[in-house]
A = this chain, B = another copy of it.
């Protein structure tokens, strides 16, 4: 394997000049640069990443801290990881995976101290997350995907649950729906302080109340059967319901099946809108689900970009980015009862 020394000899210059030609830290004469380039081409030279890291005290590696995920986010999570890795690569960085639980603080600290990573991307951030405290004490730059309860001073990018829920409600209200329930993640996720569950729930409550509409929220385990059970319960307790906002893909499938089993036609009689989902999942149902898709790719790219800026010291303002889910209106949302000539839609077209 060719080293910088080999290149230097072949080009008839010193190693430091080769280094400057490579990094651009100091100017290099045009002819010299050409000879160096030729030597590198001839030898097929690639700089040794490790040696470079040791000497420069910059590894160009960022770590992704992700608790092994049980929640059904899988599709989005993979998208996120992939896009983060791509964004890193575009900037000459590498992404390493650290599959460590939220509470394995000691392990995380040890890993940080090995100085393998210049910075850390934190996934699945809880409202109160011990890893964040650790990182604040360390000198390692970090960016949160998600956010703690008090994220003011911290770089973070998260789903804009509030805007997403508002848009979901708007979409249904414009279609004439007034009696809308929210089918969320499990009650356990709520008590565990899982950000999405809590933030989306609060937003749903607020935006429905703002419109003087009744607030109906159900927590539900992530399975089709749990979704069915919840719909059965709702059919009994909320007979005038005409639409469902869901944030739980597995339950959504069950819920739709159960609605149809109750003789509801979708979307003629009943609308379903799944948020923090994806068109891919939407395509798995029939009628094709109207979804609001999680911005996994955007979050990945943004988080990496911001983290690298911070590492390289070009960033002063903390990153506070909230990205709403994108609406992909398909076949499970349609005009509600008020649109059937009874009343005009409250807003819009």
Contact = CB atoms under 8 A, between A and B. Distances in A.
Interface in A72-110: 72, 74-75, 77-79, 81-82, 85-86, 89, 94-100, 110
A85 B114 contact: no
A1 B114 CA distance: 10
Contacts of A69: 78, 82
Interface residues of A, number: 55
A112 B59 CA distance: 16
A59 B68 contact: no
Contacts of A100: 89
A94 B47 CA distance: 21
Given A96-B96, A116-B50, A286-B253, A78 B89 contact: no
A113 B46 CA distance: 6
A121 to B, nearest CB: 12
A11 to B, nearest CB: 18
A320 to B, nearest CB: 27
A224 B253 CA distance: 13
A284 interface: yes
A249 interface: yes
A82 B72 CA distance: 14
Contacts of A96: 61, 94-97
Contacts of A98: 85, 89, 94
Copies held by the complex = 2
Interface in A252-295: 253-254, 257-258, 280, 283-286, 288
Interface string A31-65: 00000000000001011111101100001010000
Contact of A68 (B86, B222, B228): B86
A231 B67 CA distance: 40
Nearest to A258: B286
A89 B107 CA distance: 11
Nearest to A78: B78
A110 B89 CA distance: 12
Contact of A250 (B53, B86, B110, B284): B284
Contacts of A211: none
Nearest to A80: B78
Given A1-B115, A46-B113, A78-B78, A284 B254 contact: yes
A225 interface: yes
A223 interface: yes
Contacts of A95: 96-97
B49 A115 contact: yes
B50 A283 contact: no
Most buried by B among A95, A116, A280, A284: A284
Contacts of A78: 69, 74, 77-78, 81
A333 to B, nearest CB: 17
A29 to B, nearest CB: 26
Nearest to A283: B223
Interface of A: 1, 44, 46-51, 53-54, 59, 61, 66, 68-69, 72, 74-75, 77-79, 81-82, 85-86, 89, 94-100, 110, 113-116, 222-225, 228, 249-250, 253-254, 257-258, 280, 283-286, 288
- Chain A to chain B: the 5 pairs with minimum beta-carbon distance, closest first: A46-B113, A85-B97, A49-B114, A49-B116, A78-B78
